[in-house]
Structure 1
């Protein structure tokens, strides 16, 4: 094994060891119970051999051994029942341990995710999180509930069988174990062959994945331009290459594995026992009846040994799952002060003080940003794509914290405000619409569960979505995704109504009307202008005509504030904002439904 492989294996062991630490004692007890139980269930085999020997002696010598035979039968049956009980007890202990660790892991992961930055979720695939929380923990079930007891049974059966055979005759025991030694040698050869081929196979798999993504992603262009032949050719070449690599990798592996399994087939083991038995009888080392225990016991090792090999092979899947769960549990969380040091803001003005932020790869997104959101004013953030507008909004919402500087609400650092309280002070409507699988009413009242029906309807009227909700099959009781099929603009207006219902003193709108049509956008803008009275409002906008009446406009460029002022002031500067305005105004006039106020 290479050094890198050894590091990976050691890392897996540490990962799975940390996951299973709370139930390690229970799993050990379960494995021991299963091992002893498996040993006891094999006692009848030795009893059968003993009875056969005594019956032969009884017949040959005319001695009555009926009482002894019945004692052996009783001991064998007693051992069998005791073994079954112990194996069952081991399974019960393992399943109780599994239930305990599953509950612990799901609780720990949920508690951890409740404390991670909200920005982490935007960078993670929901499928990856679901896999770790649900699928990987389900995979660990097979490890905790079944793996240790199965290994215990297999090792117990193998150990008691080997000890029993050596106790009878060490020479015959060594001869009987020769097929199993051959199995291990062939297995090692198969593993080396497989390891040598995996790199090439993984590379081919990467090629076929890339070809598949390219083929599917470009299917429209392929059909439109009649290039199906070339597209199909690339895909077929990747598939054929993977097939050739797969055959090259599996042929020697299958051959070695076939030889290994042939070595421990019961008929092979039985043949070896008989051959060496006859040889030892001719040499005068053993009596003919002494072969019988080996004939009964040796083939019984085959199934546990193959089971042990399968279990150890499947362990890699469980260790990978454990690593993913552990990684999720170690996700960095937002810094927070102890609950005893939580503070309440004295007012609702928001200050950014020399805020800087960069990604983990060293790319700076924001640099030395300072400004204030005053109650009753609208501050618009504009700039080209990638300038840092949305990052700025998400920092106010504590999706992540600044690398340098700090943000305060009413003079209190956001880190010193309890998270649940923070989102009662700061409402938001983002580009990415987030609705839960529940009724429209429940979605609207998500941040304000005690809201009355009248309050909910007032909020939806402001957001210009009330009439659309009434048109749904069950009105406000319609369920999102079932009988409430809404367009992107309608879903966004629901989010706006939810923010209005929360009635926060600070409101963040990140392209909040991006999915609305021109008519609805104008209505929503007017409603939000009325709703914003007395509040600190931050608006992230791409279409500058929607924010030209803002009290202040900040122009971001390369993560810095390049210009600031009112709309007329910035136009007079004839700088970056003026360029953006001319470009945006031209695009608006070219559209089929230009907004009111555009200078076309």
Structure 2
């Protein structure tokens, strides 16, 4: 796998899709059928509210004419009051419809974003492990958080505003032509110039909105990767190089934001200028028409409001298109991940054998990672493990030890051969069934913010304090837990100092509490000192008693009492037997063991 900056795994975001804005909209409606009707109702209400708004200038024109006609006589206050009442009713109904529309859209889009995050979370558990070798973890997190939020905000705010703007724009055009066609032509001619510039800017800026979402996802992935290995970065004195790489990625985010925001930011002042030109055209032409008696003064008042109501939707549409462009880029990334190939349906697979005896057969196993099918990792692996045996897998780095465990757990599917548990092929069992058969203690410890008890009984119920105490005493951490302020109920936060070795012992105790019928220990004693290792080794012996267990270890001194030692090299078993028999054979294992003994000396 290609190495990324600072030795990272070189994971990259998924390739850009070519859906575009319309494609994302179609994808969105096919994704959730339930949003169609509420969104349609909300958009109709938005359009109705906009139509009511454009009826206002006509009523104001009547009021202006009533006042201007009465300048030389008595003003008809009753008539003005009637018209004002109608005007007030129109604006109140428009405001009510707009409020209902906003409420519906907020409810629908928040529910949609909740559904998307839930589906993304579920999707993470359904995609094959190879997906995470291709897409950075931080990039996936960015899709779950940033991209879903961007999509939700655009749908909630921009889409109704744009529908309302289109309705208002259309209504204004109709009302202007009904009121005075010559002034309507002048106002439209002045403002239509803005449309041309708006679409030219939109066409040019779309790619920058896509780049913004992609570069932000890449930056999130890099930050997550570097901060998870912060200790290594500091020890390696790689801060300057990290900063340089970060500056480059940060610069890419800045440039994408700058270009997209600069181009979209031009729209607002542009529409203001166009709107002012519309005012000038209406006032000049209207004054000439009033002077020759073609129209009344109230028409100019109405048209000044019409121009404002006509240019305002153009600005709203321009801003809405800017947000929808961001939403299209975000939605593209969300749907790309939701459409990643999934693991096959396993609902009809066989159940795990009951009771579990723990007999395991590796039958001519072959495997290569999906991203590199040309590079075979496991060539022809065959071995038989009897129930209750403790099997040690040893060999140099890259021999395929951890890969074999991953295949046993069905994290990946085989290229050839078979693995059988109690005579049942793991391919015929669901992955969850296989996972439930094994307890695992990995080299990389994992603890979350919660109580000591919650960390130990993770995902199990009905675990008694006696069971917890017995497991913790066996692993040598019971005294440490007693020193904590609240014992098993102490919340593990950053202020609770836990060493790497203690974290390792916690994970071993967790495996004891889980009490699975089979066990996998991947470098389980790598983070403990020699004294603790002896205690841990005794705990391991107790834990593995009467259980089929697989132990991956570089310290060969820890697997002397294994029932079977499998020596791997370049993806094949080259030797197998007990510790004594392999030493007596004087082969590869003996060389490994003697070299470690010499180093220790």
TM-score (norm 1): 0.83
Q: For the residues of structure 1 that align with 2:213 and 2:263, how far apart are their CA atoms?
A: 16
What is residue 292 of structure 1 aligned with on the other side?
301
Q: Secondary structure at the residue paired with 1:401? A: coil
Using a 3 Å threshold, how does the CA distance of structure 1 residues 402 and 270 change in structure 2: closer, same or farther? same
- Flag structure 1 segments of 5+ consecutive residues without an equivalent: 590-599
**Counterpart residue number, 1:595:** none
Unmatched tracts of structure 2, length 5 or more: 1-15
Give the 3 Å change call, closer, same or farther, for CA 222–255 of structure 1 in structure 2: same
Q: Secondary structure in 2 aligned to 1:264?
A: helix
Residue matched to 1:464: 476
| Number of residue pairs aligned between Structure 1 and Structure 2 | 578
CA distance in 1, matches of 2:213, 2:334: 24
How far, CA to CA, are the matches of 2:155 and 2:262 in structure 1? 34
Change (3 A) 1:6 1:50: farther
Asked if 1:269 corresponds to 2:278, the answer is: yes
Aligned pair partner of 2:109 in 98, 117, 120? 98
Cα-Cα RMSD: 4.3
Which residue among 349, 360, 374 is the counterpart of 1:350?
Answer: 360
Taking structure 1 as reference, are residues 83 and 57 closer, same or farther at Cα in structure 2, changes over 3 Å only?
same
In structure 1, the residue matched to 2:11 is none
CA gap 1:144/1:569 in 2 versus in 1, 3 angstroms: same
CA distance in 1, matches of 2:405, 2:261: 57
Kindly report which structure 2 residues correspond to 1:29-428, keeping only aligned pairs within 5 A, or say none. Answer: 29-59=41-71, 68-117=79-128, 125-191=136-202, 194=205, 253=263, 257=267, 260-265=270-275, 267-278=276-287, 286=295, 288-338=297-347, 341-345=350-354, 347-361=357-371, 362=373, 363-417=375-429, 421-428=433-440
Shift of 1:168: 1.6
Which residue of 1 is the match for residue 8 of structure 2? none
Between the aligned partners of 1:570 and 1:466, the Cα distance in structure 2 is 38
With over 3 angstroms needed to count, the CA separation of the structure-2 counterparts of 1:18 and 1:294, relative to structure 1, is same
Residues 244-274 of structure 1 deviation map (CA, whole Å, 9 limit, x = unaligned):
9899969995996576244334x43312211
Say whether residues 1:584 and 2:563 are aligned partners.
no
Q: Following the alignment from structure 2 to structure 1, what is the Cα–Cα distance between the partners of residues 504 and 199? A: 60
Q: CA deviation at 1:535?
A: 0.9
Contact 1:27 1:144 in 2 (8 A): no
Is it true that 1:505 corresponds to 2:513 in the alignment? no
Match of 1:542 in 2: 554
CA contact (8 A) 2:63 2:83 kept: yes
| CA deviation vs aligned residue, 1:508-550 (integer Å, no higher than 9, x gap) | 0011111111211122122212321211110111222222332
CA 1:171–1:181: 2 relative to 1, 3 Å = same
